Amino acid sequence: MYPSRFSYEAPTTVKEAIALLSKANGEAKVLAGGQSLVPMMKLRFAAPQILVDINNIPGLAFHSADPDGTYRIGALCRHVDLEKDVELAAQQPTMAAAAPVIADPIVRTRGTVVGSLCHADPQGDWASVMSALGGSIVAEGPNGRRTIPCSDFVNGPFQNLLEPEELAVEATVPPPVGTRAGGYLKLERRIGDFATAGVAVSLELSGEQVVRAGIGLTGVGPSTICADAAAETLVGQALDQSTIERAAQLASDVSQPRSDHRGSEAYKRHIVATFVTRILSNLQPATEQAT
């Protein structure tokens, strides 16, 4: 690989990293797992003058639940950390379903969840998962921290709301108000392929009733799509057939896919509906499922 010339910095604290970013006048890029940035540098689509490598900063490689139930993912938490966490399925079923279908095993070992959110690829899987979960990004800059909801964080393909001198230090998910359930389905042509279409569903249940819901769509719009109307229609309902069908239809309606070599617009809409249906049908209580 022969990228354009760049200089390399390896800060060991968040403060130091922010100072380097502040000094760089927008010419610096944060290097996390490098699984998106480095390929772009190879192709010279990205030519940052300075790379600020955050991998030497201790204390960022975590994922855990606070006592109040807030779930936090540090900037150096790799995809594989979530994939290998056997307790995740009980705590965060949507994340647990998504982690093993991100990229391929090699990429999962290096790539980070927060880096994926920052990268803001419309085909990135984590953005729809975090949108479904109502998650946020915690950004730290020279003036301290601020929290940006994931649904606002991305303001265009490969664009986010971070200021050039800000570092995303973690992603957070609010505490649940019911029992968590959910799933992630992705249509890919091959392991390591980005999604032709992906659907993240997060539910919080009280008994059989949905008390909170979120649906995020991958790869079917100029950025991640929050299918709010589809999610809304589930709230207050049990997962019966007609509710599921309604949600599937609404999610499909709100998607904005483009026809390309992965499939026609109509096909991708159909996949969205099919996946919403499949995830929700899987979450139906056993009695419902049988009918």
Partner 1 sequence: MTIDEVKIGGLGASRPRVEDNRFIRGKGNYVDDIALPGMLHMELLRSPLAHARIKSIDVTAAWAIPGVRLVLTGEMMASRNLAWMPTLSYDTQAVLATDKVRFQGQEIACVVADDPYIAKDACEAIIVDYEPLPVIVNPTQAMTAGAPVIRDDKENQHDNLIFDWEVGDKDGTDAAFSAADVVSELELHYPRSHPSPIETCGSIADFDRSTSKLTVYMTTQAPHIIRAAVAMVAELPEHMIRIISPDLGGGFGNKVPVYPGYVVSILASILLERPVKWIEDKTGNLISTGFGRDVYLRGQMALRKDGKILGVRMHTDSDHGAFFSDAQPSKFKIGLMHSAFACYDIPTAHLTAQGVYTNKAPGGVAYRCSFRVTEAMFFQERMVQAAADDLGLDQAEFRRLNFVQDDDFPHRTPFGFLTDSGQYGKCLDIGLEAVGYKKFLEQKEEAKKNGRLLGIGISTMTEPLGAGNSREYDILGIKMFDSAELRVHMTGKAILRTGAKSQGQGHETTWAQIVAHELGIPADDVVVEEGDTDTAPFGMGTYASRSTPVAGAAVSMVSRKIRAKARKIAAHLLEVSEEDIDWELGRFYLRSSPDRGVTIQECAMAAYSNVPDGMEPGLENNAYYDPPNLTWPFACYIATVEVDPLTGVWDVLNMVAVDDCGVRINPMIVEGQIMGGLTEAYAMASMQFITFDDEGNCVGSNYMDYLLPTAWETPGFELHEVVTPCPHHPIGAKGIGECATVGGPAAFVNAVMDALKGSGVRNVDMPLLPDRVYEALTTSRDVSGAPPIRTS
Ligand X SMILES: Cc1cc2nc3c(=O)[nH]c(=O)nc-3n(C[C@H](O)[C@H](O)[C@H](O)COP(=O)(O)OP(=O)(O)OC[C@H]3O[C@@H](n4cnc5c(N)ncnc54)[C@H](O)[C@@H]3O)c2cc1C
Residues 6+ apart with CB under 8 A from 8: 50, 51, 53
Q: Which is nearer to ligand X, 5 or 68 (CB)?
A: 5
Q: Are strands 71-74 and 167-173 parallel, antiparallel or unpaired?
A: antiparallel
Pair of tokens at residue 126: 């984590």
Closest CA to 169 of 79, 59, 260, 85: 59
Q: Which spans in 35-190 are helix H?
A: 37-42, 79-83, 88-91, 93-98, 105-110, 113-119, 125-132, 150-153
Among 18, 20, 24, 31, interactor with ligand X by CB under 6 A: 31
Name the minimum Å distance from CB 33 to ligand X.
Answer: 3
Residue entry with tokens 């991708």: 268
Q: Residue 217 is which amino acid? A: L
Rounded Cα distance between 48 and 27, Å, is 6
Q: Interaction with partner 1 in 230-259: which residues (CB under 8 A)?
A: 258-259
Closest CA to 171 of 114, 110, 95: 114
Phi, psi of 43 (to 5 degrees): -80, -5
Name the minimum Å distance from CB 194 to partner 1.
Answer: 7
Site string for partner 1, 80-119 (x = CB under 8 A): ------------------------x---------------
Among 14, 50, 89, 107, interactor with ligand X by CB under 6 A: 107
Contact 55, 76 (CB under 8 A): yes
The site partner of 119 among partner 1, ligand X, none (C-beta below 5 to 8 Å per kind) is: ligand X
Binding of partner 1 at residue 12 (CB under 8 A)? no
Q: Which is nearer to ligand X, 192 or 207 (CB)?
A: 192
The site partner of 241 among partner 1, ligand X, none (C-beta below 5 to 8 Å per kind) is: none
The site partner of 265 among partner 1, ligand X, none (C-beta below 5 to 8 Å per kind) is: partner 1
Contact 92, 71 (CB under 8 A): yes
The site partner of 264 among partner 1, ligand X, none (C-beta below 5 to 8 Å per kind) is: partner 1
Binding of ligand X at residue 112 (CB under 6 A)? yes
Q: Interaction with partner 1 in 187-226: which residues (CB under 8 A)?
A: 187, 189-194, 196
Burial track 107-139 (b if 16+ CB lie within 10 A, e otherwise): bbebbbbbbbbbbbbbbbbbbbbbbbbbbbbbb
Pair of tokens at residue 99: 């982690």
Among 263, 269, 279, 283, interactor with partner 1 by CB under 8 A: 263
Residues near ligand X (CB under 6 A) are 29-37, 39, 75, 102-103, 107, 111-112, 114-116, 118-119, 124-126, 162, 167-168, 192, 194
Residues near partner 1 (CB under 8 A) are 2, 4-5, 43-44, 104, 187, 189-194, 196, 258-265, 267, 270-271, 274
